[in-house]
């Protein structure tokens, strides 16, 4: 692993689709070369890295969608290459901070070129560090970017309520305190804030209208933020190295040299 070439991003923007990888691996399997080497089984086994790290969440989860054949080799390449470059990084938290629980929700509309399904992503911050994150392909095809963002927002709302309940038990939040979720799509925010039935949303699964109820109850507050400030963007799509480094830093993931000069005192390795 020490000799692996580091990469700056977990997912190449020019190779976002894994169909080529899948076809090559299936061809190897058809010719009797589909056996996974032992070294890859070890890296990707129970003692390997967890793909939940926010710095590689989207990139390492993508190969899994291709099935069992390309998953092991493709995801191992992502984990080895990125881990080599960021193995000393950690998530930093402020010892004291007025910033409470806040979330970021985003979606990559029709990002899967084969199924045309979108990818939902969210990241929740507290005391300057990321405490919860997820990247997942949506169950159904969204007909518009607004619809994709709306479905992603519902998943983020579910996580927000769970985190709130947990923090209330710890005495870190009040039961009547709302969780702020940042969203970069004005249309999805309008749908979530409008309780009236609308022909534009009648085809959307009932489960996704869950967010409307929570906004109306005051448990969740939606706040607009620009795309460039959307921290969950890292969870949904391939981005440039400059964007990746910027968002990684905003999520509280820092190198040791940065940590020494940072006002943050507590650090947890990612």
CB-based burial, 15-34: b 16+ in 10 Å, e otherwise: ebebeebbeebeeeeeeeee
Cα–Cα distance, 134 to 144 (Å, whole number): 21
Torsion angle of the four alpha carbons 233, 235, 240, 242, in this order, in degrees rounded to the nearest 10: 70
Domain boundary among 46, 69, 86: 86
Domain boundary among 58, 86, 114: 86
pLDDT, the chain, mean: 77
Q: How far apart are CA 268 and CA 270, in angstroms?
A: 6
User: Same structural domain for residues 75 and 111?
Assistant: no
Tell me the residue range of the domain where 59 lies. 13-86
Is residue 107 included in any domain, yes or no?
Answer: yes
Could you read off the pLDDT of 24-71 as tens digits, one per residue?
Answer: 556 656 666 555 444 333 344 443 334 446 655 665 555 444 444 444
The last residue of a domain, from among 86, 101, 135: 86
Please, is 269 exposed, middle or buried when counting C-beta atoms within 10 Å of its C-beta (0-12, 13-18, 19+)?
exposed
Q: Per-residue pLDDT tens for 190-200? A: 988 886 656 66
Domain shared by 184 and 212, yes or no? yes
Q: Name the E strands within the chain.
A: 90-93, 102-108, 119-126, 129-137, 179-183, 220-224, 253-254, 266-269
The answer on 233 and 112 residing in a single domain is: yes
41 shares a domain with 98 = no
- Let me know if residue 6 belongs to a domain: no
- Cα separation, 195 vs 178, in Å, equals 19
4 in any annotated domain: no
Q: Describe the crossing of helices 19-30 and 68-86 by its angle, rounded to 10 degrees.
A: 120
Q: Clarify whether residues 23 and 77 are in a common domain.
A: yes
Structurally, the chain folds into a number of domains equal to 2
How far is Cα 123 from Cα 183, in angstroms, rounded to an integer? 11
Q: pTM of the prediction?
A: 0.74
Residues 106 and 208 in one domain: yes
Q: How is residue 248 annotated by DSSP?
A: H
Q: Do 22 and 114 reside in the same domain of the chain?
A: no
What confidence score (pLDDT) does residue 173 get? 94
Above 70 in pLDDT, residue 85? no
Say yes or no: 58 and 164 in one domain: no
Return the pLDDT at 39.
39
Pairing of strands 102-108, 179-183: parallel
197: which 2 tokens? 């039935």
- Are 128 and 245 found together in one domain? yes
Q: Which residues contact 190 (CB under 8 A, 6 or more apart)?
A: none
pLDDT at 263: 57
Say if residues 113 and 238 touch (Cβ distance below 8 Å). Answer: no
């Amino acid at each position: 692993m020490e000799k692996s070439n580091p990469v700056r991003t977990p997912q190449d923007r020019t190779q976002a689709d894994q169909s080529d990888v899948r076809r090559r691996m299936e061809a190897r399997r058809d010719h009797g070369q589909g056996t996974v080497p032992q070294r890859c089984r070890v890296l990707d086994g129970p003692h390997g890295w967890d793909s939940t790290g926010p710095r590689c969440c989207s990139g390492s989860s993508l190969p899994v969608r291709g099935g069992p054949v390309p998953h092991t080799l493709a995801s191992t390449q992502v984990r080895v290459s990125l881990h080599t470059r960021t193995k000393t990084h950690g998530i930093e938290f402020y010892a004291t901070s007025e910033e409470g629980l806040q979330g970021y929700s985003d979606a990559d509309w029709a990002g899967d070129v084969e199924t045309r399904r979108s990818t939902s992503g969210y990241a929740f911050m507290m005391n300057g560090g990321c405490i919860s994150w997820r990247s997942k392909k949506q169950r159904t095809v969204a007909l518009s970017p607004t619809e994709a963002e709306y479905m992603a927002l519902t998943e983020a709302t579910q996580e927000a309520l769970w985190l709130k309940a947990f923090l209330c038990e710890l005495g870190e939040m009040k039961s009547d305190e709302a969780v702020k979720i940042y969203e970069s799509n004005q249309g999805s925010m309008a749908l979530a804030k409008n309780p009236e039935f609308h022909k534009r949303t009648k085809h959307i699964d009932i489960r996704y209208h869950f967010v409307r109820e929570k906004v109306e109850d005051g448990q969740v507050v939606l706040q607009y933020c620009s795309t460039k400030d959307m921290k969950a963007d890292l969870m949904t799509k391939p981005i440039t190295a400059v964007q990746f480094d910027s968002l990684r830093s905003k999520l509280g993931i820092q190198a040791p040299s940065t940590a020494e000069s940072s006002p943050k005192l507590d650090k947890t390795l990612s």
